[in-house]
Chains A and B, each alone.
Chain A
């Protein structure tokens, strides 16, 4: 049995907060595997395993503040060696000078590696946050250094912490990942409108009125002035503000060019009916995604990342396609990974799974990060015939599908027929690609959708 204790990991620290355990009881760990992440007032560090063995018991809960010398967890030697043997082995392995009497209790004396979470190094320094915000962070086991502040002068606000927690609890994945890669649903105007009711709801829950808004005269959308009526005002902070920030970043960084196309989906509808008759059902969006993926193989420039610093455009081989999902909590963009390796059924199933998770508010950070291309299917919402989708920086393109309508169409034989036509809007980064390429790309997409059997050729 080995008790792993909190040791002084530098600068004469006397206590640390437990951020999270990286292992659970029953886990087998090798020597130097990280066991628990702690945070002192200066840094975040991982306490490594003094030796290999099986985790027996975690003694603390995240958020607790403990003194140096406190036992963090208990490990068991996987060989099940007796305590006495353990004594010696451990004493030798870890600290040859450890007094025998204390050796059952292993306190690492050597300086541990001090690891700063990814993406945080640049922000080492003063973190602006009120004590109350820090308290909220502590209570939610949030490392405040990983949170991006939206308050005055970049101050972290209570709302930032809560938004961070919400994002993290979507998946419970490493917080640093969530922090460094803010996932903001990147969907044009429509997305913003969708978000509004949620934000106002949050505002009504929030206790403290925002003075900057209350009390000042505000012109409402309708143009009339209201004085101090908080119900007419939506707070602009938290997630809404994050979205705004992302939008501004995207629209100011990326020269957006939007290109529109009409696609005849009549054949696709017929094919889906056929498939349905056989007892299977594949959504139209799954076909769109597959067709896009096929197109992206031929026009990889739209599945790319511009690296201005290194003056290069990285063409990404993997097609991780984000799909905007309208949930009661707001718009969220889960990512179907490796679409290029998936068949239609797999894409369909994955999309269904992610949509359900999104609706149940159970998406993990993994589920919503790493997209390389994004689609937004606004067709089911009806109405729109075109849009200017705002690209999810640093991606290169985003495609919106609009409502399918039956329309009279002139054929090559100069006959007028009724066909099901869907509009498509494609926004792309004009730095990376030109209009001609975009047209070629959507033409290829249209070809595959207008004659879905062509997709057979692409079967793996």
Chain B
């Protein structure tokens, strides 16, 4: 890995473009596929200018058929390419679900390791951008249940580029979740050139002794804001950005939870079957005796994500997170 010294200030979505650009220029095997990603630059302009730069053979506009281009990408991956497909919204991935769950995720095992599927599925996701129904789904745990798929979710520009490069280089299929709400909400220093953020490693954002707050994607700023508010009340939160949802960075979680004895998990997905449940099971397995209070979850509700008029009521807020933190502290 080259160490880049030059940095530029980018939004999360620009960092993704930068990551794709970096990999397109580095390796001819990297191919982008998706609806309107070429001329149009994608719904969110994540592939803006890339077709112009690398040509229609490398940045391919596909017909409106998720199952079709995901399936095609699987075939390309098995045959030596490193395709990156864009699903316009995570909620549109269901037609391709069969391809992902029965082929992409299992080929390595099915062929006893003879073939791997080095592909990336990019999917903007999450509520908070006033998008219509289905566009806001946060169904990441549908994909963490099937071994074989890696699921990553950056919360900032630096991680977005580093994880994107790591995902493209990874020999296995990676679902790359892009929090829409964070696409342009902040900017960060992003090194030029190539660097990676290791898949499977979370990050401790703040040090604290009192309670561990675990979040990812667009919920990281929410957790950080709550932690900041708590600090003024004398409660020190240790905020963890999970970054990878499968495989989870167990060491990071357990070490922190063993230290604090209290946990609050924040995710915008539905509570039932959400990744928060898995985290609580993990804590139960590995840190039961350290628990001073039952772990709390602040999540979306067990309803479809509502129309945008009610979005804000669905999404976890710093206030709700703060209430959960106080609850575990008071227990």
Q: Which residues of A contact B (CB under 8 A)?
A: 130-135, 152, 158, 207-212, 214-215, 228, 230
Contacts and interface: CB of A to CB of B under 8 A. Distances in A.
Contacts of A132: 261, 289-292
Nearest to B294: A130
A210 B234 CA distance: 9
Interface string B290-331: 111100000000000000000000000000000000100111
A301 B326 CA distance: 52
B81 to A, nearest CB: 50
Nearest to A208: B210
Given A210-B329, A211-B326, A214-B235, 18 more contacts: A130-B293, A131-B288, A131-B290, A131-B291, A132-B289, A132-B292, A133-B292, A135-B290, A207-B209, A207-B210, A208-B210, A208-B292, A209-B210, A209-B235, A211-B233, A228-B232, A228-B233, A228-B234
Contacts of A152: 331
A211 B329 contact: yes
B234 A209 contact: yes
A133 B262 CA distance: 13
Closest 5 CB pairs between A and B? A211-B329, A135-B289, A215-B233, A132-B292, A209-B234
A364 B291 CA distance: 33
A457 B326 CA distance: 67
Interface string B248-275: 0000000000000100000000000000
A230 B236 CA distance: 13
Contacts of B209: 207-208
A219 B210 CA distance: 25
Chain B CB within 10 A, most for which of A135, A209, A211, A230 = A211
Greatest chain B CB density within 10 A among A158, A207, A209 is at: A209
23 contacts: A130-B292, A130-B293, A131-B291, A132-B290, A132-B291, A133-B292, A135-B290, A207-B209, A208-B210, A209-B210, A209-B233, A209-B329, A210-B329, A210-B330, A211-B326, A211-B329, A214-B233, A214-B234, A215-B234, A228-B232, A228-B233, A228-B234, A230-B234
Contact of B326 (A130, A131, A215): A215
Contacts of B289: 131-132, 134-135
Interface in B225-256: 232-235
A103 B39 CA distance: 87
A400 B326 CA distance: 44
Contacts of A131: 288-291
A211 B330 contact: yes
A135 B293 CA distance: 13
A135 B261 CA distance: 11
Interface centre among B210, B235, B289, B330 (most CB of A within 10 A): B289
Contacts of B292: 130, 132-133, 158, 208
Given A130-B331, A132-B261, A211 B290 contact: no
Contacts of B331: 130, 152
Contacts of A135: 289-290
B291 A212 contact: no
A208 B210 CA distance: 6
Q: Which of B232, B290, B291, B292 has the most CB of A within 10 A?
A: B292
A179 B235 CA distance: 33
Nearest to A134: B289
Contacts of B234: 209, 214-215, 228, 230
A215 B325 CA distance: 12
Nearest to A158: B292
A130 B329 CA distance: 13
**Residue among B232, B234, B326 facing the most chain A CB atoms (10 A cut-off):** B234
Interface in B194-239: 209-210, 232-235
A372 to B, nearest CB: 41
Contacts of A158: 292
Contacts of B329: 208-211
Nearest to A152: B331
A214 to B, nearest CB: 5
B291 A130 contact: yes
Contacts of A214: 233-235
Interface in B279-293: 288-293
A208 B326 CA distance: 12
Nearest to B258: A132
A6 B326 CA distance: 44
A405 to B, nearest CB: 47
Contacts of A228: 232-234
A214 B292 CA distance: 18
Contacts of B235: 209, 211, 214
Nearest to A151: B331
A207 B235 CA distance: 10
Contacts of B290: 131-132, 135
A152 B234 CA distance: 22
Contacts of B210: 207-209
Nearest to B235: A209
A237 to B, nearest CB: 12
